[in-house]
Amino acid sequence: LQPLHATPGAGIVRVLTRDSCGLRATADITGYLAAQSARQCGPCRNGLPRLAETLGALAYDGRCEPREITRLAALVDGRGACHHPDGAARLVRSALTVFADDIPLHQRGTCCVAHETPGAWSLR
| Residues making contact with ligand SF4 (CB under 6 A) | 37-41, 43-44, 80-82, 84-85
Q: If DSSP codes are grouped into helix, strand and coil, which group holds residue 9? A: coil
CA distance 54 to 65: 9
Q: Specify the residue, 66 or 85, whose C-beta has the smaller distance to ligand SF4.
A: 85
Closest of 80, 103, 82, 81 to residue 92, by C-alpha: 103
- In this complex, which beta carbon is closest to ligand SF4, that of residue 105 or of residue 123? 123
Please report how close the Cβ of residue 2 comes to ligand SF4 at its closest, in angstroms: 26
CB 36 to ligand SF4: min, Å = 8
